[in-house]
Amino acid sequence: MKGFIVLKSKEGVEKMSRNEWYNEVQEILELQCKGCFVHKQFKKEKGRRFAHKFCISQCTVGEQLRTVGNKLIK
């Protein structure tokens, strides 16, 4: 299984190549993060760093991205 990353989920075992994982990240960013009202508002009110930190640490989409990103690192 060289070149593939295995993710165990509730539905079973999912094998994806690094490119497929990368595409998954891009899809999440495009569909869920692009134009996000919360990020835009925090950026306006509290600054870019605060908004970015919120997205990484507290947003559910950020949690999904971290999960996929950790799979890419391994």
pTM, to two decimals: 0.62
**What is the band of 11 on the pLDDT scale with cuts at 50, 70, 90?**
very low
Contact assessment for residue 70 and residue 4, using Cβ atoms and an 8 Å cutoff: no
Give mean pLDDT, residues 23-37. 91
Contact assessment for residue 13 and residue 6, using Cβ atoms and an 8 Å cutoff: yes
Q: Can you tell me whether residue 57 is helix, strand or coil? A: helix
Contacts of 37 (CB under 8 A, 6+ apart): none
| Distance between CA atoms of residues 17 and 11, nearest Å | 18
Q: Can you tell me whether residue 74 is helix, strand or coil? A: coil
